[in-house]
Amino acid sequence: MDTPHLLIDDARMRRNIEKMAAIAERNGVALRPHVKTHKIPRIARRQVEAGAAGITVAKVSEAEVMADAGLEDIFIAYPLVTDPKIRRAVDLGQKLQKLIVGVDSLEGARRLSAAAGNQVMEVRLEVDTGLRRTGVAYDEAVDLAREIDAFDNLNLSGIYTYRGAVLGGSPTLDREKAGLEEGGLMVTLADRMREGGVGIRDISLGSTPTAEYAAAVEGVTEVRPGTYVFYDRMQARLGACSLEECAATVVCTVVSRPREDLAIIDGGSKTFATDVPPGTAPLNLEGFGHVVGYPGATLERLTEEHGMLAVTAEHDLEVGDTLRIIPNHVCSTVNLHDAVYLVGESGAVEEVRVAARGKVR
274-291 pLDDT tens trace:
999 999 999 999 999 999
338-353 pLDDT tens trace:
999 999 999 999 999 9
Domains of the chain (ranges plus CATH)? 11-226 (3.20.20.10), 243-328 (2.40.37.20)
**What is the model's pLDDT at position 149?**
98
How many C-beta atoms surround the C-beta of residue 235 within 10 A?
28
Please name which of 265, 264, 253, 257 lies closest in space to residue 313, comparing C-alpha atoms.
257
Query: Taking a C-beta distance cutoff of 8 angstroms, is the pair 284, 238 a contact?
Result: no
151, amino acid identity? F
**What is the model's pLDDT at position 359?**
86
Distance between CA atoms of 342 and 216, rounded to whole angstroms? Answer: 33
Cis bond before residue 282 (omega within 30° of 0)? yes
Distance between CA atoms of 40 and 352, rounded to whole angstroms? Answer: 8
Q: Mean pLDDT, to the nearest integer, of 133-137?
A: 97
Distance between CA atoms of 278 and 272, rounded to whole angstroms? Answer: 13
Q: Is the pLDDT of residue 40 over 90?
A: yes
Q: Give the residue ranges of DSSP H helices in 291-357.
A: 330-334
Backbone angles phi, psi at 300, to 5 degrees: -90, -20
1, amino acid identity? M
Distance between CA atoms of 311 and 65, rounded to whole angstroms? Answer: 42
Instruction: Name 293's Cβ contacts closer than 8 Å, sequence gap at least 6.
Output: 323, 324
Distance between CA atoms of 187 and 182, rounded to whole angstroms? Answer: 9
Distance between CA atoms of 94 and 68, rounded to whole angstroms? Answer: 13
**Mean pLDDT of the residues in the chain:** 97
169-214 pLDDT tens trace:
999 999 999 999 999 999 999 999 999 999 999 999 989 999 999 9
Q: Is the pLDDT of residue 45 over 90?
A: yes
**What is the model's pLDDT at position 192?**
98
Distance between CA atoms of 190 and 186, rounded to whole angstroms? Answer: 6
72-125 pLDDT tens trace:
999 999 999 999 999 999 999 999 999 999 999 999 999 999 999 999 999 999
| Environment class of 70 (CB within 10 Å of its CB; exposed 0-12, middle 13-18, buried 19+) | exposed
**What is the model's pLDDT at position 360?**
84
Q: Mean pLDDT, to the nearest integer, of 152-163?
A: 98
Confidence of residue 5 (pLDDT cuts 50, 70, 90): very high
Query: Taking a C-beta distance cutoff of 8 angstroms, is the pair 86, 115 a contact?
Result: yes
How many C-beta atoms surround the C-beta of residue 57 within 10 A?
25
Distance between CA atoms of 221 and 37, rounded to whole angstroms? Answer: 22
**What is the model's pLDDT at position 299?**
98
Distance between CA atoms of 299 and 241, rounded to whole angstroms? Answer: 21
Distance between CA atoms of 19 and 235, rounded to whole angstroms? Answer: 15
